[in-house]
Amino acid sequence: MGLIRLLIIAVIFWIVFSALKDWLNRPSQPGRPSKRAGGAIEQMVKCAYCGLHVPESEAVRADGRYYCSNAHRDARSRHG
Ligand SMILES: [Zn+2]
């Protein structure tokens, strides 16, 4: 019965494909600790000093502006 075998192969392909799709859609980046699920796409903010885009949760906020690091926040405030 070749039809049953074909059906089984089709099901296996479907499982592998959906698993692969799920893996590709994963937002976690290599080298960084993955955040808790349930969060939407992270808002990206621009560093007011160098213009680098960083996730809002990792950005340093001061005077209503965002910075990529404490060093850039200090560098900006030192200039006035
Ligand atoms: Zn910066």
Residue list, CB under 5 A from ion ligand 1: 47, 49-50, 52, 68, 72
Residue 30 banded pLDDT, cuts 50, 70, 90: low
CA distance 61 to 52: 14
Which residues of 1-80 form beta strands (DSSP E)?
44-46, 53-55, 60-62, 65-67
Distance 31 CA to ligand 1 centre (A): 21
The structure's pTM equals 0.47
CB of 27 closer than 8 Å to CB of 41:
yes
CA 53 to chain centre: 13
Residue 80 banded pLDDT, cuts 50, 70, 90: low
Write out the DSSP string of 33-45. PPPPTT--SPPEE
Distance 63 CA to ligand 1 centre (A): 15
Q: Above 80 in pLDDT, residue 24?
A: yes
Distance 72 CA to ligand 1 centre (A): 5
For residue range 35-79, list pLDDT tens digits in order.
555 656 789 999 999 999 999 999 999 989 999 999 999 998 775
